[in-house]
Amino acid sequence: MPNKKSAERRVRVSERNRIYNRSWTTRCKNVVKKVLQAVESKDASTAVATFNVAQSIIDKAVVKGVMHKNTAARRKKLMSRRLKTLEQGQSV
């Protein structure tokens, strides 16, 4: 329990930020899972559409300071590699 008024304020602010960051983190994880599920089901059109949405959401999380830019790049790279293997498999 904080002893000073400023410390009490910091507890409130950090809890608010934790909830905000957690919601964005969950949102990013869920959209990545949707892309990977679409790739697993070999549904190229859905995978491409959800990939575009996922990129947007991940980029917004970076702008808001929830996710580091290198983490975002790594997640987008993972999704694009999986998507590329799906496209190569269908073109053969």
Helices (H), ranges, the chain? 5-40, 44-63, 69-91
Q: Is residue 61 a contact partner of residue 30, using CB atoms and an 8 Å limit?
A: no
- pLDDT by 10s per residue, the chain, length 92: 899 999 999 999 999 999 999 999 999 999 999 999 999 999 999 999 999 999 999 999 999 999 999 999 999 999 999 999 988 887 64
Ordered domains of the chain (ranges, CATH): 5-91 (1.20.58.110)
3-class DSSP assignment, residue 32: helix
Q: What is the pTM of this model?
A: 0.87
